[in-house]
Amino acid sequence: MAVGLTHDTFTESAYITIAEFKNAPTSIDYNNLVIGGNGNAQDAELQNVILRASSFMNEYFNANLNATEYVETQRTRFTNDGFVALHPNNSPIIALSDFKYGPNPNNLVTLADCDNAWFEEQQIIIPLSNVATSYSSQGPLAFGGYGTPRQQIFCLYTYVAGYVNNAITTGTAGASSITVANATGIVPSQTLKISDASSSENVTVASNYTYGSTTVPLTSALVYSHTTGSTIGNIPSAIKQACILMTTAFLKARGDSSMTMQITTAPAGTSDGASRYGTDIKLALDIVDKYRRIR
């Protein structure tokens, strides 16, 4: 018997890199996470903790805020004023790369050009003039024309949503471009920040950037050189700070005994372990509460 499979996808990724955590003033001992392990083993486990902390934040957000490509399905209807409105599960929406639609799930056709879609933070609007609304058993008979208001339509679409937060591969001082590990979410004329400790700087993507390319031209030359471990993006700094606090809390919960700098009103020495890492979690969630999605 054939099995029906979902088309929907969801992935998770870390909000900070190992280097970003190590550069933060946490006073946490991250060199003894694996007993007897070498530096690579310690970094691998630290990366695992960062991923778990990021996943915890995603559960709180009810979303993944890193720019990610998703595939989703949705039933909707033509609006009375002549549009197809899509409401993806993730935001802010950056791009629509593929849109299939039809009167039933087994009769979907592909929109020829996604460039005319209108983007809002939490929805995508497609003009009816771009959608074929006369169907046969083989698909659409014609493009354009006026569709039936409130007619049900099945949709399968691929889109990108979230904030850019990508790892840098190479970036040399004086160069007018930078290469990234992946280009998800980067668009022309976008202002991004390179997070690289004291060498952090803001850059603007050139208007001639080709969407999807891992080589990103810039409007001006880089001031500093950047190596693996630094990131480029427009993700709010509050999200990165929250992930640092969350990772710190997870490391404390593992039994860390290093010196820690507390944010508490309790007298020195009176806070137990649960209070110490609990305070970091609460502070982290307070910082990013505005990004929480209520479904």
The predicted-structure confidence for 16-37, as pLDDT tens digits, reads as follows 999 999 999 888 888 888 888 9
Tokens of 41: 């083993």
Do 64 and 9 contact (CB within 8 A), yes or no?
A: no
Q: Does the pLDDT of residue 258 top 60, yes or no?
A: no
Q: Does the pLDDT of residue 214 top 70, yes or no?
A: yes
Q: Does the pLDDT of residue 266 top 80, yes or no?
A: no
Percent of the chain with pLDDT over 70: 83
The predicted-structure confidence for 90-109, as pLDDT tens digits, reads as follows 999 999 999 999 888 888 88
Helix (H), strand (E) at residue 279: helix 273-287
Higher pLDDT, 139 or 121: 121
What confidence score (pLDDT) does residue 41 get? 95
What confidence score (pLDDT) does residue 121 get? 82
Q: How confident is the model at residue 246 (pLDDT cuts 50, 70, 90)?
A: very high
The predicted-structure confidence for 148-180, as pLDDT tens digits, reads as follows 556 788 999 999 999 999 999 999 999 999 999
Q: Does the pLDDT of residue 237 top 80, yes or no?
A: yes
Do 160 and 184 contact (CB within 8 A), yes or no?
A: yes
Task: Give the torsion sign (CA, 12, 215, 195, 172).
Answer: positive
Count of CB atoms situated within 10 Å of the CB of 155: 20
Q: Does the pLDDT of residue 131 top 80, yes or no?
A: no
Range with lowest mean pLDDT among 46-55, 69-78, 125-134, 247-256: 125-134
Residue 245 CB-density burial (10 A; 0-12 exposed, 13-18 middle, 19+ buried): buried
Beta-bridge partners for 68: 161
Percent of the chain with pLDDT over 90: 58
Mean pLDDT of the chain: 85
Q: What is the DSSP letter of 128?
A: G
Q: How confident is the model at residue 112 (pLDDT cuts 50, 70, 90)?
A: confident
